[in-house]
Amino acid sequence: MVYETGNQTVDDAVRRVLDGETLDRTDGLALIAQPADALAAGADLVRREFSDGTVDACSIVNAKAGDCAEDCGFCAQSAHFDTGIDTYGFLGPEKVLEAAKRAEADGAQRFGIVVAEKGVSKEHRPDEWNEIVEAIRLVRDETDIEVDASLGLLTREEADELASEGLNHYNHNIETSRRYFPEVVGTHDFDDRLKTLRRAKNAGMDLCAGVILGMGESPTDRVDAAIELQGIGISSLPINILNPVAGTPMGDRDHAAISKPEVLKTIAVYRLLHPESRVRLTGGREVNLAPDEQHLPFEAGADGILTGDYLTTEGQDPGDDIEIMERAGLEPNRAVNEFDPEAVKAKHRDTDPDTAVGTATSNATTELDD
């Protein structure tokens, strides 16, 4: 394989990554200033070396929606903003299991139980805690897919209990850089989030932690967020692109405040900074990338996807997502859940024969994982 893109900064970085070096902030800042096509080519080389040629799909359920006391400026589920979404309490273990089985049938390798909360509190809401733990047990015992959860901030004891109940992964996004975080969230600190990630990791869970692009952050903020995640050690790096929600402080725009080349550059730089993590394309891609552009992130280093619906917006059909992977020359991961991709695609065609890849609509009320 020829490890050259024609761009010296990118080629030097690729060679160092392939030699086992970890790139640092200086490298990241130099890289993010390079052209998108060279970065994409370099990131693709690195992905080929570190990844197995598959795209890993996960899926989530919004298990408790809205009325969150926090004020995250991108989020339709905050009680601080009037976004008109449906709110409801915890769905209960059986409904969570039903959602997990649907995700399994659609090819997800991992299923995330998400609640709209600063943190599920075992001490203050023990009944709800017990129901969530029961849901984790059910999904663990009655499906073949891995169990993930996004329950907000955790104490050390809570993290230990979740791990001992068989929770494989914990999702807790840092959203943006330490510098820009206070512009987005006023009710808790960046360090609160890092503490929870460390507790989950110390308890033995793998970490899924990422960002939202297009909230007004700078390219330097994007690099700094990725460097922060290097210090934590994550196995999955979800990249959301803001889908502005009417009623939130970021809701008065048509789309995210980031161009498509900048999205691709960021994905590529994240691959170079996190060569061994799944770089996962998540919320907002349908709104910010045209149907015929959705495969491009997978040619720029991405190797993971959040498939199915988001928290309060409709996602694409999982059959469409498989076709997008295939357009980039990749195939769905089936390491945990050995599903039949052709059956998932056929189910989509049978359900809605007129829907072309990438044309699923979003009701644009909200999105994004916690």
- Residues at the contact surface with ligand SF4, assessed by CB under 6 A: 68, 70, 72, 75, 77-78, 116, 118, 152, 370
Q: How far is the CB of 66 from ligand SF4 (least distance, A)?
A: 8
Q: How far is the CB of 199 from ligand SF4 (least distance, A)?
A: 17
- Pick between residue 51 and residue 83 the one whose CB is nearest to ligand SF4: 83
The amino acid at 326: E
Q: For 239, phi and psi rounded to 5 degrees? A: -115, 105
Q: How far is the CB of 346 from ligand SF4 (least distance, A)?
A: 36
Distance CA 28, CA 44 (A): 16
Q: How far is the CB of 173 from ligand SF4 (least distance, A)?
A: 8
Strand partners, 359: none
Is there a contact between 269 and 237 (Cβ–Cβ < 8 Å)?
no
Is there a contact between 92 and 130 (Cβ–Cβ < 8 Å)?
no
Q: How far is the CB of 292 from ligand SF4 (least distance, A)?
A: 31
- Pick between residue 152 and residue 247 the one whose CB is nearest to ligand SF4: 152
The amino acid at 159: A
From residue 232, how far is each of 160, 246, 274 by CA, in Å? 18, 33, 11
Tokens representing 58 are 């996960």
Q: How far is the CB of 197 from ligand SF4 (least distance, A)?
A: 14
Distance CA 42, CA 39 (A): 5
Q: What 3-state class would DSSP assign to 215?
A: coil
Distance CA 178, CA 174 (A): 8
Distance CA 62, CA 314 (A): 12
Q: How far is the CB of 135 from ligand SF4 (least distance, A)?
A: 18
Is there a contact between 47 and 16 (Cβ–Cβ < 8 Å)?
no
- Pick between residue 239 and residue 300 the one whose CB is nearest to ligand SF4: 239
- Pick between residue 38 and residue 239 the one whose CB is nearest to ligand SF4: 239
Name the residue with tokens 């808790």: 188
Q: How far is the CB of 112 from ligand SF4 (least distance, A)?
A: 13
Q: Nearest to residue 115, comparing CAs of 138, 139, 98, 132?
A: 132
Q: Nearest to residue 44, comparing CAs of 264, 327, 332, 231?
A: 264
Is there a contact between 10 and 34 (Cβ–Cβ < 8 Å)?
yes
- Pick between residue 78 and residue 168 the one whose CB is nearest to ligand SF4: 78
- Pick between residue 70 and residue 323 the one whose CB is nearest to ligand SF4: 70
- Pick between residue 27 and residue 70 the one whose CB is nearest to ligand SF4: 70
Q: Nearest to residue 313, comparing CAs of 282, 342, 340?
A: 282
Q: How far is the CB of 210 from ligand SF4 (least distance, A)?
A: 13
Q: Nearest to residue 237, comparing CAs of 301, 173, 298, 289?
A: 173
- Pick between residue 7 and residue 77 the one whose CB is nearest to ligand SF4: 77
- Pick between residue 170 and residue 339 the one whose CB is nearest to ligand SF4: 170
